[in-house]
Structure 1
Amino acid sequence: MRRGWKILVAGVVLTLLVAGAAAGYAWYRLTQPFVSAGETAAPATQTASAVRLKQLVHKLSTDFPDRTFDNAPRLNGAAVYLESQLVALGLKVESQRFTAEGRPYRNLVVKLGPDTPEVMVVGAHYDVAGEQPGADDNASGVAGLVELARLLKGQTFRQRVELVVYTNEEPPFFRTPYMGSAIHARSLAETGKRATLMLSLECIGYFSDEPGSQDHPVRLLNAIYPTTGNFISLVGFYQDGDVARQVKAAMKSASDLPVYSINAPGFVVGVDFSDHLNYWNEGYVGMMVTDTAFYRNKAYHTPQDTADRLDYRRMAKVVDGVRAVVMQHAGPAVPAR
């Protein structure tokens, strides 16, 4: 009897140990903890401008609100404006044109560095969901992309970097082959290119220092992640955790803005809610850089999503972080020590 009791206790202890180890591993893969600021391939010679970001977001959200899939004047007007901003930086802009349900659309593509089979992509969508200004979603991401282009101009790269301004991220084209990012991702595959990393800038301007201002898709995550919305988040798929660690380290090297990451299965609500989904569908590593959108910003997809609600100082730090990722991933090789 005593021997049987000992076996039972040992079995319970072993089960608890295995369950604890599995939970620990899942936590590690989900959050990528203990990541310290890493070295970047090229130190920044200039930083993102909060003033420029504010000007870009204000222009897009006030002069081109309601830039929906069926509002051609506003959607095209936004594309023309963004193209002019990139051209003014001295960059060559290509239009990737396509048709969806009988209407013409276009992405804007800036190619930097050598023409290599491997490509790093940073993208953001300029359309909105319904009649709204779309300041955070997603004038913030597009403004960040334009400012990133300014920081990357004249830099040396060891592989191609493509900065892409997408259309048709929002419904009714979300999760269809007519998303602008789906068109671009497919074009890479069809021409024999391989995206080694894709970052989607999706809502990067809303921050709050109020306790309880941050929600999470699962209540259990409140014990793991902050409940104050004063950080930027890196969102990716479960199997890409190792890459997420590298991206997270590079972002943390650029500023004091807190960076958290989550690598979760696709069934977790919000994990695949942006353009990175289409690169993942092609077999590439795609991740979203975000303020977590509707989990923090309650004006998401409403007329209250206005430019005056955004924090451009912290938004500039996000852009600096993305710039560090690009230079680490595609910039000059770091000399061996």
Structure 2
Amino acid sequence: MRLFLKLALTVAALLLVLIGLTVQPLFRQTKVIAVPAVSPERLKAHVRMLSETLHPRSVEELTNLEAAASYIHTEFTATGAVVADQWFTDRGEKYRNVIARFGPAEGPLLVIGAHYDSFETTPGADDNASGVAGLIELAGLLGRHPPQRPIELVAYTNEEPPHFRYPSMGSAHHAESLRAGGREVSLMLALEMVGWFSDAPDSQTYPVPGMTLLYPDKGDFIAIIGRFGDWSETREVKAAMRSAGDLPVHSMNSLAVIPGVDFSDHLNYWAEGYPALMTTDTAFYRNPYYHAAEDTYDRLDYTRMAKVVEGVFAVVQVHSAR
């Protein structure tokens, strides 16, 4: 009996450690003094422009893809950012990332990015006009509230197939350029699908059976995903986003073998040895119209999307206060 009890206690202790490393149920709440409000209507306008007027914006329609880059460049410039295009060529075609820089030129860099291309001929409202809209409105906040540390907001091209996991990804070019330049990166945060929310029971699914014991069955939260090695960064981002408002924030640190953990631009920063996380509505684990023609602007929740952007701005504040 004593041996059984000892074994049971050991297993329970290991489970608690695993939960602590994976889910981070306990963390110190960060106090953020002021988080400016983000306009849901402005977010909606950006998403509609990208997913409807500039649809499709992919390798299927390079003219629209370039028009989307120009739109983002114009919006970034209006915020007062130092804006630059990172051009590169793949298979004879020219592509560009659009970069908005804030804060001092030197010091450890915070990178926040989102891809502006869409899958084939789909509208790509949630995937990923939502992330780009958030990036544009975040640029507006940074223009009005300049950070004390260097920040780059990057709108990436070529995240979707046929480029995904290939060197032609825009984020691969950006991450490689930082490493080649010897730039220190304190954190990269990818905004990957941040507009789909649901309060319906069982609206949230998961890649591993039993995860509903640790996470909600409703898709009413935003998730922060990272590797085990980025545990402390996940904890900090989660605490900052939680402090910004009432939107539930959940996190998971995991191996990339779990489907979805590395399904965005952050994987290219991992490849260069940088800490990187993904902020997401969990994509196909929640949104039934992932990579489908029904991924349209009118289906997204712009009020909660605004809270996501406010949470990311809180991350910037905490980062700047280090």
TM above 0.5: yes
* Contact 1:117 1:192 (C-alpha < 8 Å) held by counterparts: no
Deviation of the 1:92 alpha carbon: 2.7
1:43: which partner in 2? 34
Equivalent in the alignment of 1:4: none
Q: Does 1:221 pair with 2:203?
A: no
Displaced runs of 4 or more, over 6 A: none
Q: Are 1:74 and 2:64 an aligned pair?
A: yes
CA contact (8 A) 2:30 2:240 kept: yes
Residues 231, 258 of structure 1: 8 Å contact kept:
yes
Where do 1:318-337 residues align within 5 Å? 318-329=308-319, 331-333=320-322
State the match for 1:88 in structure 2: 78
Q: CA deviation at 1:157?
A: 3.0
Deviation string 1:107-126 (CA, Å, 9 cap, x unpaired) is 00011111124100000000
Matched to 1:73, the amino acid is: T
Q: How does 1:202-241 map to 2 (within 5 A)?
A: 202-241=192-231
Percent sequence identity is 48
Q: Retained in 1: the 8 A contact 2:108–2:185? A: yes
What aligned pairs does 1:148-167 form with structure 2 within 5 A after superposition?
148-167=138-157
1:135-284 equivalence runs, <5 A: 135-284=125-274
Letter in 2 for 1:118: P
Matching of residues 46-57 of structure 1 within 5 Å: 46-57=36-47
The C-alpha deviation readout for 1:112-156, integer Å capped at 9, x for no partner, is 111124100000000011111000000000000000000111434
Q: Distance in 2 between matches of 1:304 and 1:291?
A: 17
The aligned residue for residue 14 of structure 2 is 22
Partners of 1:248 and 1:272 in 2: CA distance: 18
Contact map agreement 1:36 1:252 (CA 8 A) in 2? no
Provide Cα deviations, 1:219-251, integer angstroms capped at 9, x if missing partner: 210111001001111111122112211110100
- Aligned partner of residue 322 in structure 1, secondary structure: helix
Alignment counterpart, residue 125 of structure 1, candidates 110, 115, 120? 115
In 1, are the aligned partners of 2:60 and 2:121 still within 8 Å (CA)? no
Q: Tell me how far 1:332 sits from its aligned partner.
A: 4.0
Deviation at 1:284, TM superposition (A): 1.0
- Tell me, in whole angstroms, the C-alpha distance in 2 between the residues paired with 1:266 and 1:193: 25
The answer on 1:13 being equivalent to 2:25 is: no
3-state secondary structure, aligned to 2:65: helix
**1:251–1:259: 8 Å Cα contact kept in structure 2?**
yes
- The one-letter code matched in structure 2 to 1:205 is G
Distance of 1:223 and 1:213 partners within structure 2: 15
Indicate conservation of the 8 Å contact 2:225/2:252, yes or no: yes
How far apart in 2 are the matches of 1:63 and 1:89? 22
Q: Which has the larger radius of gyration?
A: 1
In structure 2, give the amino acid aligned to 1:113.
G
> Aligned letter for 1:43?
A
Is this contact kept in 2: 1:157–1:332, CA < 8 A? no
* C-alpha contact 1:124 1:142 (8 A) present in aligned 2: yes
Name the Cα RMSD after superposition. 1.3
Partner of 1:98: 88
CA offset at residue 70 of structure 1?
A: 4.1
Count of aligned residue pairs for this structure pair: 322
Q: Compute the displacement of 1:29 (Å).
A: 0.6
Mapped partners of 1:290, 1:120: distance in 2: 18
Q: What code does the residue aligned with 2:2 have?
A: A
Report if aligned partners of 1:125, 1:169 keep a CA contact under 8 Å in 2: yes
1:75 is aligned with what amino acid? L
d(CA) in 2 for partners of 1:206, 1:328: 26
- What letter matches 2:23 in structure 1? T
One-letter identity of the residue aligned with 1:283: G
CA contact (8 A) 2:43 2:133 kept: yes
**Structure 2 SS opposite 1:176:** coil
Q: Are residues 1:287 and 2:241 paired?
A: no
Deviation at 1:103, TM superposition (A): 1.2
Cα distance in 1 for residues equivalent to 2:140 and 2:258: 35
Instruction: Work out whether residues 159 and 169 of structure 2, in 8 Å CA contact, stay in contact via their aligned partners in 1.
Output: yes
Shift of 1:194: 1.5
